[in-house]
Amino acid sequence: MVLMSRIDRALPALGNMFVLGLAALSLAACAPKGPSRPPCPPGKVCIQAGNVAEPVSLDPHKITGVWEDRIVSNLLVGLTEADPEGNAVPGMAERWETTPDGLVWTFYLRDADWSDGVPVTADDFVFALRRIMSPQTASEYASLLYLIKNAQAVSEGKAPKEALGVRAVSPKVLEITLEHPAPYLPQLAKHQTMYPLPRHVVERLGDKWVTPGNYVSNGPYVVTDWKLGDYVKIVKNPRFYEADKVCVDEIYLYPTSDATMAERRVLRGELDMNADIQSNRIAFLREKAPQYVRTHTYLGVTYLAFNSSVPAFRDKRVRVALAMAIDRDFITQKLLRGGQKPAYTFVPPGVANYEPAKPPAWAAWPLEKRQAEARRLLAQAGYGPGRPLKIEIKHRNTPDPMLFMPAIQADWKAIGVDTALAQNEAQIAYAAFRSRDFQVADAAWIADYNDAMSFLYLQQSATGAQNYGDYRNPAYDALLAKADNEPDAKVRAGYLAQAEQMMLDDAPVAPIYFYVNKNLVAPKVTGFVDNIVDQHRARYWCVAGSRTAPAAPAAPKG
């Protein structure tokens, strides 16, 4: 009975999607057989890749999306780098050491050049770290590096850039001093916020340094063309320190917000891969083209953020009522069907050295009981049939939100809430979230490094733009600070779990589900390894049959 009533409530929107899906299949059946793709120069290896969304920038200090990182991480290399399994391995730093208290780290750089032939030095890292902390840069990701000594004070304009705890001991030795021990620093060092910048170019050209023709790289690729709304083209950097190990010469990366269209393009041979699959298509594709489907456990969570400037959301009862009324089992098992798991906590399972907080008690209740309690809480807060709560969810127009947003709308209608849906391109939606131009935000977060702090810091008062709902709780902040300064990993994990429990009780966000990563990859592409962080550096890719490429792998089983 519950399943039928849930389907009935979601049918108006889902029926339209079903019709569109049939139309898409018909188009696929009538599509031309031959591939349509840019020609690859003779003797070269080329890949065409779907990249979900249009980048806002290629400046590592001005990006926040994984679709942007997929490009920039092939242009720039940090102190560490992701290996095919997504692990942190030596990048620009050949080795590193830390003092016994874990506060001072020394990185020893390899000999390497920028793509214009100028040597990469420790000063390029110092310049980049000072730039991302500069109030003039206004980087939305600056708070991720507040673990560096004096970083927050510099970012807030309360200290000069020279106070930042970074210095070039010599051209090939970089020293970083931290506010507190951070054993995960090598993982964080492969994040875009810690990439070096070519100081000699950025100081001369300013923000224009990121345009094709000006962009100077230290990574395996350089950007040669960017046609807005069409593609970004990157080509092999002959001055990369391991250029002899890079197989693919040219890569086109396309914004592919329509996952079904991208799926057809991959199966037709127009694209070699796409960085997403519409979740409810995975089962079908595993039947029809199993060797293309790549899914894996992922350190990511989809959630709703409540804007604390909206009067209704200042009442905890309203936030809790909305969170408990969402039927996560229906969303994950009946709509998405891609292996996602219902989320009642914020930190995903599988995060290193962490035992997640306990889900709220209502997570175990039947949906009908949760709905009844949600109506009671709303009535206590002053909302009901005579005065319905009216709100808007601003959401991404990417495949999965387009599927589950009508279901949440139906869930909230069942408890008397009048909900409007406003869809936006992903980058536009996130820009609105960061500027607080929303009531309820449909957001997702992927770990920047494998640690619970990568999720919990989002709700920290000092985080700024990415704390979308402006949650502020001094007790929560204090627990995170205690965790930062705790050397014992088990005790530290306990502080983090307490903080997560406190935040879940306050309900500034409503977790929806935990991610799986989903890629569609042609079997001829080699070197693409499924991993928990969904990081796939193009320097490891090749195409079966080209040069010394290995044979294509067997069809993946998971």
**DSSP-derived secondary structure for 280-300:** GGHHHHHHH-GGGEEEEEEEE
225 - beta bridge partners?
Answer: 233
Q: Which helix (DSSP H) or strand (DSSP E) does residue 429 occupy?
A: helix 426-434
Predicted confidence pLDDT, tens digits, the chain (558 residues): 322 333 333 333 334 333 334 333 333 333 334 457 899 999 999 999 999 999 999 999 999 999 999 999 999 999 999 999 999 999 999 999 999 999 999 999 999 999 999 999 999 999 999 999 999 999 999 999 999 999 999 999 999 999 999 999 999 999 999 999 999 999 999 999 999 999 999 999 999 999 999 999 999 999 999 999 999 999 999 999 999 999 999 999 999 989 999 999 999 999 999 999 999 999 999 999 999 999 998 999 999 999 999 999 999 999 999 999 999 999 999 999 999 999 999 999 989 899 889 999 999 999 999 999 999 999 999 999 999 999 999 999 988 999 999 999 999 999 999 999 999 998 899 999 999 999 999 999 999 999 999 999 999 999 999 999 999 999 999 999 999 999 888 999 999 999 999 999 999 999 999 999 999 999 999 999 999 999 999 999 999 988 655 444 443 333
| Triad 429, 435, 437: Cα angle to 5° | 65
pLDDT of residue 350: 86
Q: Could you write out the DSSP letters of every residue in 494-549?
A: HHHHHHHHHHHHH-SEEEEEEEEEEEEE-TTEES----TT----GGG-EETTSTTP
| Contacts of residue 39, Cβ cutoff 8 Å, sequence gap at least 6 | none
Yes or no: say if 302 and 68 are a contact pair by the CB < 8 Å rule. no
Which is it for strands 46-50 and 273-274: parallel, antiparallel or unpaired? parallel
Would you state the pLDDT for residue 547? 63
Contact indicator for 188, 132 with CB cutoff of 8 Å: no
Rounded Cα distance, 557 and 294, in Å:
8
Q: How far apart are CA 150 and CA 159, in angstroms?
A: 8
194/188 Cα distance (integer angstroms): 8
In sequence order, what are the beta bridge partners of 293?
A: 520
How far, in Å, CA of 347 to CA of 299, rounded?
Answer: 8
Which amino acid type is present at position 43? G
Q: Which two tokens stand for residue 274?
A: 């796409």
